[in-house]
Chain A
Amino acid sequence: MSTLIVNEETYPLPEDPRTTLLDFLHQHLSMFGAKKGCDHGQCGACTVLLDGERINACLVFAFQLEGKSVTTIEGIAKKTNDSDAKLHPLQKAFVERDAFQCGYCTSGQICSGVALLGELAAKNPSAVTCSADYSQKEDISERMSGNLCRCGAYPNIVDAIEDVIALEPQ
């Protein structure tokens, strides 16, 4: 049977091949953490991790991910033995920096930010690193440009990500 792993649990692929990953998460698994914003890959509210890399869940059919492993915002917090969820350092930083207003885009922002930390650790380039002088804030903004939000919380999101980078120097 064709399957897909979501947050370490294995699920059968949906019968209808038209089902996007985002709709699969919502309608089949009742996981509503990844949000449906534009549904066209333009806002990043649906960002999830695919084998550790961030993708737009709205622009991929579930059948394309057969055998792959997806992590949503529900899986970012690590489960502890007493089944309490332990927040990821970036989730804590978002709380401490008040890096959201309405919060609708926050799960996508956090998934994106978690992947970003891995990309920095792997020394992956961005468009900004092709410039002569650039700041870490500019680099973070460039890397987070696939997550749009009108709430004006951008500086706090960048600050929160910088806080976590400072915790673990790259």
Chain B
Amino acid sequence: MNPFSLQHIKHTQDINGLSTEDGAKYIAGGTNLIDLMKLQVETPSQLVNLSQWEDEQSITENDDYFRIGAMVTNTALANYAYHQPSLSLLSQALLSGATVQLRNRATTGGNLLQRTRCYYFYDTTKACNKRQPGSGCAALTSMNRIHAILGTSDDCIATHPSDMAVAMMALDAQVSLTSKTGEVRNIPLRDFYCVPSTTPHIENVLKDDEVITAVIIPKQRHGTQYYRKVRDRSSYAFALVSVGAGLVLKNDTIEKLTLSFGGVGTKPWYPASAIRVLTGATFSEEVLDLAIDAELADAKVYGSNNFKPDLLRNTFKSVMHSLYEHQRENGDHEGALYEN
């Protein structure tokens, strides 16, 4: 590992006027960054240590929204959300990710900024435009079973790995950013991530002088919620396909649909086309097909991941049927599909 110098943030106001080197990186829990540093994928000359940043280690709420500090751990957030019916999707997504050991260290801000697990990004002997712009993309014509089918480009087909972000996107979350000049701006999570296009190394709209301080989730009814994750083993694996959804049904009409996809996009995927087709529609097999057809219209497959459109279609429809049946039997229900 390359040598680096250290800086520390202890209070949010320390961001104001913080002076960092060009090669500086912020380190929150470190569960992804330290891994990448050991592999020489990341070689920061300076780390800004956020471990003592106590201002942003708590969750607060008012009548309108939940505010989750950037340094809240995935465990703390999962436990909290588990007891909030309107956040049950988030709890289930978090608990499906990684392991207890990792969730105890991983943070809300860090989770949003974690890097792809594309094999070629991790292997510094292989071409990767995300790691080394202009070097090419080995995944396009190689082992791409875990790779994206939506939002891809000729330069990059890497998926975003976060389960948490998929759920937060469905729940209309905003990311709160603070700049070194003290400016605060809130960006909808749907607008936070970038598709790779010709610049896959630019993954989000975070500016060089900004730090994620919190995630804000508005208090809304999402009805019955379900995060379904399909993967190669039943625990501790990234999603091949995941579907996060919440359904409010009135008679047989889809009054409100909360929906997002993981494992299929170059960013946590907000399926605007599918939501457009379904909102206000009468629930039926045909309308589900129409919705997923609309979303998959621009999907591209790359060989080893040819199974993903069908897997996404089937997972989506299965989730929707489960939610539909639960809402039919439990009108006005709010919370997890399964409650114990």
| B104, A50: Cβ atoms closer than 8 Å | yes
Chain B, range 174-202, C-beta contacts under 8 Å to A: none
Known contacts A17-B4, A145-B99; decide if A65 and B51 are in contact (CB<8 Å): yes
Among A60, A64, A125, A132, the residue within 8 A (CB) of B91 is A125
| B236, A20: Cβ atoms closer than 8 Å | no
Among A56, A115, A131, the residue within 8 A (CB) of B105 is A56
Q: Nearest-CB distance from A61 to chain B (Å)? A: 6
**In the docked arrangement, what's the CA distance between A60 and B100, Å?**
15
| B92, A61: Cβ atoms closer than 8 Å | no
A102 in contact (CB, < 8 A): no
Q: Nearest-CB distance from B75 to chain A (Å)? A: 7
User: Which chain A positions have C-beta within 8 A of B304?
Assistant: none
A53 in contact (CB, < 8 A): yes
Size band of the B side of the interface? Answer: 35 or more
User: Which chain B positions have C-beta within 8 A of A18?
Assistant: 1, 3-4
| B6, A126: Cβ atoms closer than 8 Å | no
A55 in contact (CB, < 8 A): yes
B109 in contact (CB, < 8 A): no
Among B1, B78, B102, B338, the residue within 8 A (CB) of A146 is B102
**In the docked arrangement, what's the CA distance between A129 and B78, Å?**
12
B27 in contact (CB, < 8 A): yes
User: Which chain A positions have C-beta within 8 A of B102?
Assistant: 41, 56, 59, 146
User: Which chain B positions have C-beta within 8 A of A100?
Assistant: none
| B338, A132: Cβ atoms closer than 8 Å | yes
**In the docked arrangement, what's the CA distance between A65 and B235, Å?**
28
| A131, B51: Cβ atoms closer than 8 Å | no
**In the docked arrangement, what's the CA distance between A53 and B52, Å?**
17
B125 in contact (CB, < 8 A): no
**In the docked arrangement, what's the CA distance between A130 and B82, Å?**
9
B38 in contact (CB, < 8 A): yes
Known contacts A18-B3, A64-B51, A119-B100; decide if A125 and B78 are in contact (CB<8 Å): yes
User: Which chain A positions have C-beta within 8 A of B99?
Assistant: 44, 145-146
User: Which chain A positions have C-beta within 8 A of B105?
Assistant: 55-56, 59-60
Q: Nearest-CB distance from B54 to chain A (Å)? A: 12
| B100, A20: Cβ atoms closer than 8 Å | no
9 closest residue pairs by CB, A with B = A146-B99, A145-B235, A127-B95, A64-B51, A132-B338, A125-B82, A53-B104, A146-B101, A145-B236
- Kindly list 16 other residue pairs between chains A and B, CB separation below 8 angstroms, not including A130-B91, A146-B98, A146-B100: A40-B38, A41-B35, A44-B99, A56-B31, A56-B102, A59-B30, A59-B31, A59-B102, A59-B105, A60-B30, A61-B34, A66-B51, A112-B100, A145-B99, A146-B101, A146-B102
B interface list, Cβ under 8 A from A: 1, 3-6, 27, 29-31, 34-35, 38, 47, 49, 51-52, 75, 78-79, 82, 91-92, 95-96, 98-102, 104-105, 234-236, 336, 338, 340
